[in-house]
Structure 1
């Protein structure tokens, strides 16, 4: 069995996918690289096939009709043979020294027959044109270099969330929890991280700057104007997160973390609707909150009474001030460009 399976969702990625693949190849034969060509119209398929031919024990090329980022992740998970599973987007890459440390930890877990559900590491915002690179680190919130549980975590700071770039899940855990991301939908990375969390019992945090998250392309999904155009997809993911029952979750720290995570995603949806200044999007924002209320009134009341919930419902000057503050938090997390 491979130690780690890494899915690379690719759609028209010929211009940048080689950087991602080349950094991942340094993991050697303990790694399985699954290049998922999601119906690309450029040379992505040929590049994937060339890597699979050159590195047959490491790289597998998967070709499918276009199903979107989520379906590409689904395809990677369906084909994964590794004990652990990671997603690396085709325009991102990894730090090879940190990568070696990650693999050492995963090997030691398997060799020691330790049941590790989730490995967490840092990621770096590689924002185009930025002089200083911002790092999302978790050393203030998580114990380091040992297995721990939800009861061992400390407080997460505002804007400090575990995102797809941070996580490596145990493959079987993802399958056991029935993870299936929606087709033709962006922003499913939030669902990928969020849905398995109630099933996670054991975690390990390695304080290394492993994942390099590129931000800067105009067509990138986290571009603010692109997000507004795709607000229906953001809201769909938001609703799917609301469908996961969390109000009775134990331990309390897990429940609190998931509530805060859902609050920031709902804030993003609401603020995008407000910033669009379109009546139809404001109606979608209202319907989103009504959906939450119908799904779980306790959840609705809890989120409405958070600072973010209050901020997105206030009107006038005070409301706009709150909204700007909430949006700045969202920017820190997602690095909107």
Structure 2
């Protein structure tokens, strides 16, 4: 293992621990100003859906892109935690019987299995709302303009034209097989949009110039595509114990992926190409972007 890889893994763990602590704090039982009460069962369901490990890759990207641009670390941590709330809400809802109908997530029962479907729906709703609360709150040390930009960017990435719309297309793909262009669009929305936001958010909260923001946004789009491609490969090749969730479900449902269309050798070559593209996009940042280069490799080569 190279020194850069070791440093990446150490940073990934350090940031994950910091994000976990931040999420534990915002998901406490303590009632916040203008809240009336925090129902115990709802909070327990939310914590079950969020405080269950995970790599915390999306907040990691917020924190690390902000770091290379000199952004406020506390602001980056809180924006990363907000993004993780959106991501976890999407997993809670995706796991529901009406969606992907999964019983296992990160090696433990999904929220609707551990609690019930109503609690899972409400916990997802509450996590989505909490994300925007975190960004806008006085505890997040950013200007009002930056907060507005982040709220808009996160809403666009997670809503109709982003993640939620991508999930709708994904469900439709079970009954009407999309062509390659439609699969690329679906995946850019369902998976890529939040990863794109993670990288662009670091630039927004650091007050980066438009060109640096564009480069990091494009880097996010590139590794977002790599993330989904690697995920499709793992769904084909990994086992449920390694993944902590059911595998082989895309093939079982007849859902088209780029791997099923193009084959495993093409997918592996495409992942290598995407890492090269991501690396080239980071060239203007010099050695400060080494961690992000390692992140691109990790996304493409991960085993879970």
TM-score by length of 2: 0.31
Task: Name which one, 1 or 2, has greater alpha-carbon Rg.
Answer: 1
Higher strand share: 1
TM-score by length of 1: 0.29
Higher helix share: 2
